[in-house]
Amino acid sequence: MYAQMIQSEATAEDPDKLAAFEARIAAGEKIEPKDWMPAGYRKTLIRQIGQHAHSEIVGQLPEGNWITRAPTLERKAILLAKVQDEAGHGLYLYCAAETLGVSRDELTEMLLDGRMKYSSIFNYPTLTWADMGAVGWLVDGAAIMNQVPLQRTSYGPYSRAMIRICKEESFHQRQGYDIMMKMAFGTPAQKRMAQDALNRFWYPALMMFGPSDKESVHSAQSMAWKIKMNTNDELRQKFVDETVPQAEYLGLTVPDPDLKWNEERGHYDFSEPDWSEFFDVLKGNGPCNADRMEARQQAWAEGQWVRDGLMAHARKRAARRVAAE
């Protein structure tokens, strides 16, 4: 259905419609599900929103790993709430993608057969409790940096989903920083754990913003359509500028010997992540890619009876409605 829809719209595109669409984008209007849109705009949105939704769902795995081992009841309750929020974010985003004519089943199948991605960051393991702090502080911190501007994205349902998501992401970032404060100002062993978590998550967090602007395939078109509001490098720089003082407050060292404030630019200079590692993770070769995909395959297979039951119920209700009319 998805492929057919993209195909039929591609042939239906005409220059007048395209010009009218681009004028609406330029005027800052929101595009809504029933409005005409170019096939490429729809396709880009499905790719980006779908990838984002999958990231929220797969993102539950590294943190879910620590729910049973949280150090106190309070920390457990907070972590549970955070992981549940991520499931909710996935659902808002799948709903936003569905308004573009792709079903949730199709999106999931595309994830499971490798046609769609999820964020590279979730292919790294969470080895200690301090990683829960680093994930909240850095990973949710990077996610917010990327997602706050997306509240102004041109597609209405995506923009509205982002407004709800960003409110919750701020709480996630704060709870992560709170864990980091406890660890960094705790015993020497706790501080070492906090430093180790920062060492392991710093560069993967920088990679979340995507490849450098020179390598980014989609940025130019996505920014012209206001699907993306900033380039990958702009957001990465903003993240570094805001995060370094937070690391300094914790008394932790960012693992980059070349990190320094550049007075002239008014920004930090910093080392690029190892992009060969990033592309390797995207190809499926990160430390946890296989585990993450296996967990999603298993959840999909084990949920089959629930989906079948719901569909049978829906069909029965529809048949009853038709019979009553």
What does the binding site for ligand 3HC look like in residue numbers (CB under 6 A)? Answer: 47-48, 51-52, 55-56, 59, 86, 117, 119-120, 139-140, 143, 146, 207-211, 216-219, 222, 228, 232, 282
Which 3 state secondary structure label does DSSP give 72?
A: coil
Nearer to ligand 3HC, 190 or 212 (CB): 212
Q: How far is the CB of 147 from ligand 3HC (least distance, A)?
A: 6
Which residues neighbour 126 within 8 Å (Cβ) at sequence distance 6 or greater? 62, 63, 65, 66, 132, 135
CA atoms within 13 A on the CB side of 269: 8
Nearer to ligand 3HC, 98 or 253 (CB): 98
Nearer to ligand 3HC, 140 or 256 (CB): 140
Q: How far is the CB of 35 from ligand 3HC (least distance, A)?
A: 21
Which residues neighbour 79 within 8 Å (Cβ) at sequence distance 6 or greater? 63, 66, 67, 70, 132
Nearer to ligand 3HC, 130 or 136 (CB): 136
Which 3 state secondary structure label does DSSP give 211?
A: coil
Q: How far is the CB of 157 from ligand 3HC (least distance, A)?
A: 14
**CA dihedral (90, 95, 96, 102) positive or negative:** positive
Nearer to ligand 3HC, 284 or 309 (CB): 284
Q: How far is the CB of 11 from ligand 3HC (least distance, A)?
A: 23
**63 close to 76: Cβ distance less than 8 angstroms:** no
Q: How far is the CB of 229 from ligand 3HC (least distance, A)?
A: 9
Nearer to ligand 3HC, 150 or 193 (CB): 150
Which residues neighbour 179 within 8 Å (Cβ) at sequence distance 6 or greater? 75, 129, 130, 132, 133, 136, 137
Q: Closest Cα to residue 210, out of 99, 51, 13?
A: 51
Q: How far is the CB of 318 from ligand 3HC (least distance, A)?
A: 35
Alpha helices in 153-303 (DSSP H): 156-184, 188-207, 219-224, 232-250, 275-280, 289-302
